[in-house]
Amino acid sequence: MNVGVTGVPDLLVLCGGQGTRLRPVLSDRPKSLAMIGSRPFIDLVLDPFLRQGIRRVILCTGHLGHQFEEWYADHPCLFDLTFSKEAVPQGTAGAIAHAAQWMTSDPIVVANGDSICEVDVAGLLAFHSKHQGCATVTLASPDHRLDVGVVTINAQHRISALDEKKQNRSDGACNAGIYVFNRSALALIPRFRPCSLETDWLPLLIPMGVYGFASGAPLYDIGTPDRLGQFRRETMEGKEPATRGRAC
């Protein structure tokens, strides 16, 4: 496992979504820049990785992506930060393929920019290395409030199927939106059309070995106005990740 000159992997954060469902309450900025107290949500995504030694971050941006550069120009962070900007949306897997030119490690860690699951990064990487698959999916316990991807997994932790996002699922383990990928797996990302990580790319990798790492951590998501409002309220009440951290 080659994790680059720093001894830790690159982190890619997917921040290029259109945020269509949030437009009634968040029309002027990307959803990862939704303010939670005095900090944008993306800072709360990054905080746990910073605490665990990640230092090199690639933000995959698209819709209103210039706002990320403006924010971090005014609020310098503790990461070595690179922006991978898409002129035309290529989907979540396409965004990863576009960012390959800036990757320095193998494997890489990928995280959604609109959800938080405080995974043990060292444990995740050790699990990935032990099982020798091409990809590892971090798993969280199902939450009936969320429209999440649910996986089918065997006793050896190997994933055999990924269901599309559904609400009110209480069975199985859910995709927490944090992954480890071998760089060789990027060769299977379909080109020349928008491509989803969950529905287009991951299913192609299953025959090569995709494993599920049980995080034991809750999953927080701000993908809808109700969930964003709930996250803001519970954060202020001290029930969710703190708004004061170290990313910036």
pLDDT recorded at residue 141: 78
Residue 4, pLDDT > 60, answer no
Mean pLDDT along residues 82-108: 96
Contact call for residues 173 and 98 (beta carbons, < 8 A) = no
Contact call for residues 84 and 95 (beta carbons, < 8 A) = yes
Residue 29, pLDDT > 70, answer yes
Between residues 81 and 241, the one the model is more confident about: 81
* pLDDT tens column, 164-202: 665 545 556 889 999 999 999 999 999 889 999 999 999
Contact call for residues 90 and 189 (beta carbons, < 8 A) = no
Contact call for residues 167 and 146 (beta carbons, < 8 A) = yes
Which amino acid type is present at position 68?
F
CA distance 115 to 208: 27
pLDDT recorded at residue 237: 74
pLDDT recorded at residue 24: 84
CA distance 248 to 245: 7
Q: What is the pTM of this model?
A: 0.91
Residue 40, pLDDT > 50, answer yes
Q: Could you tell me which CATH number the domain at 11-236 has?
A: 3.90.550.10
Residue 232, pLDDT > 90, answer yes
